[in-house]
Amino acid sequence: MIPNPGTAQFALSAGIYKELSTSQLLSTLTKGVFDGDAPPAIAYPYIVIGETTEGNNDLLNRFGMVLTVAIHVWSRYRGTSEAKIITNEILKRLNRHQLPCEDWVVTLATYEGANTLTEGDEVRHAIIRMRYKMSPKE
């Protein structure tokens, strides 16, 4: 019997964090990348790796997972261009890109969509949705 590898959520979040936080361009465009929540007093703009969904994607005798991840861009720039520029750079690093994931292999990484919201008078919020299929490393 093949051992059950458990969840891929942690490995995927860690891989996304590593990919985004080590980007020199994103580090010049933002004040940081955070997993879950940003510190209370962080300056804008910044990126948060947010909500994850995970489901079974087994194939015959092979374990697999399908996950979606929301990545949030927060900005106070008047207008949406700053959030859109950061979104574009995130997509260059994540869409159809192999991520470094411990114990898992990303077999599919696709962009599902994004939207940009205005929250109050000052805050712009872009939400990027990515879909991943993953298999355990052999």
Residue 104 lies in a domain: yes
Strand, coil or helix: 113: strand
Residue 128 lies in a domain: yes
Residue 131 lies in a domain: yes
**Residue 65 lies in domain:** 9-136
Domain CATH for 112: 3.30.2000.30
Report how many domains make up the chain: 1
110-to-24, 64, 104 alpha-carbon distances in Å: 23, 16, 17
pTM of the shown model: 0.92
pLDDT score of 3: 62
Residue 28 lies in a domain: yes
pLDDT score of 1: 44
Residue 3 lies in a domain: no
DSSP state of 62: B
Residue 58 lies in a domain: yes
CB contact burial 1-15 (16+ within 10 A = b; e otherwise)? eeeebeebbebbbbb
Alpha-carbon distance of 19 to 16, in angstroms, equals: 5
Residue 67 lies in a domain: yes
Tens digit of each residue's pLDDT (9 = 90 or more) over 93-126: 999 998 988 889 999 999 999 999 988 878 999 9
Residue 113 lies in a domain: yes
Supply the Cα-derived Rg of the chain in whole angstroms. 16
Alpha-carbon distance of 134 to 9, in angstroms, equals: 10
Tens digit of each residue's pLDDT (9 = 90 or more) over 45-88: 999 999 999 998 877 777 889 999 999 999 999 888 999 999 99
